[in-house]
Amino acid sequence: MQRRNVVNCVSIPSLQSPHQFSPFLEVQDTKLSTFVLAGGCFWCLDAVYQRTRGVHAVISGYIGGRTKDPAYREVCSGTTGHAEGVAVIFDPQVVPAEVILDMFFTVHDPTTLNRQGYDVGTQYRSAMFPLDDQQRDLFQDAIEKFSRVYPNPIVTTLEESKDFYPAEQIHQDYYSENQEVGYCRVIIDPKIAKVRKYYAQWLNEA
């Protein structure tokens, strides 16, 4: 898979200056939509959405916290209040918004509070960050939809925060650059296989 360049392709209001990117990141194509989602380690969501048709870019970053421009170690300490999340920039004429959200609720467990597998802490919480009222309604509908799918109650939160800080360059497209790393093979590979099982028609790779 060809590595994607995340520079100059984000459309999140109030985007803060990132770690190793130009501070002027914006999308000129108004037909694109942006969802900001958190579901455990951002490497997992990034890996799935990077392989989804109609997705123009995925940016891993930090959102929902109290401090400005946090670093990875700070977020991992659980003291900043940020969640590891991704900004998914996609063309809804190619991949419906509902499919992006269905993948989100499939690739992670939205019923475990502040935990995804071995990753424990508020930074790994299941959360959605609507950028407007329309997204809020769409996200709420998705939560209600999957509350009928999972046997346990969904703990995914809807949070008000538009201050998204892109993570350091090493965390961008992490899976594609590190597929032989143990975490990728043990944790991310099964997630991609699960998404491929249910959403193969929406993926770029067979």
Q: Per-residue DSSP letters for 26-59?
A: ----TT-EEEEEEESSHHHHHHHHTTBTTEEEEE
> What backbone torsions phi and psi does residue 115 show, to the nearest 5 degrees?
-160, 140
Q: Is residue 25 part of a domain?
A: no
Q: What is the mean pLDDT of residues 34-59?
A: 95
CATH number at residue 127: 3.30.1060.10
The question of whether 44 is a catalytic residue gets the answer no
Q: Is residue 172 part of a domain?
A: yes
Torsion of CA 70, 82, 40, 178, to 10 degrees: -10
| Residue 163 confidence (pLDDT) | 87
What size, in residues, is the chain? 206
- pTM score, whole prediction: 0.86
The rounded radius of gyration (Å) of the Cα atoms in the chain is: 15
Q: What is the mean pLDDT of residues 60-64?
A: 95
Nearest alpha carbon to residue 55 among 22, 91, 26: 91
Q: Which of 41, 44, 76, 184 is catalytic?
A: 41
Q: What is the mean pLDDT of residues 94-120?
A: 96
Domain of residue 89: give its range. 33-197
Q: Is residue 7 part of a domain?
A: no
| Residue 14 confidence (pLDDT) | 40
Rounded distance between C-alpha atoms, residue 111 and residue 126, angstroms: 8
Decide if pLDDT at 10 tops 50: no
Assign 180 to helix, strand or coil.
coil
Residues 6+ apart with CB under 8 A from 29: none
Q: Is residue 3 part of a domain?
A: no
How much is the mean pLDDT over the chain? Answer: 86
Decide if pLDDT at 75 tops 80: yes
Decide if pLDDT at 114 tops 90: yes
Q: Is residue 206 part of a domain?
A: no
Q: What is the per-residue pLDDT across 122-153, written as a single tens digit (0 to 9) for each? A: 999 999 999 999 999 999 999 999 999 999 99
Nearest alpha carbon to residue 35 among 120, 116, 95, 118: 95
Q: Is residue 190 part of a domain?
A: yes
Q: How far is CA 5 from the centre of its chain?
A: 17
| Residue 15 confidence (pLDDT) | 43
| Residue 102 confidence (pLDDT) | 98
| Residue 25 confidence (pLDDT) | 39
Q: How many domains does the chain have?
A: 1
Rounded distance between C-alpha atoms, residue 27 and residue 35, angstroms: 13
| Residue 30 confidence (pLDDT) | 65
Q: Are 156 and 142 in contact (CB under 8 A)?
A: no
Rounded distance between C-alpha atoms, residue 62 and residue 39, angstroms: 12
Q: Is residue 167 part of a domain?
A: yes
Q: Is residue 64 part of a domain?
A: yes
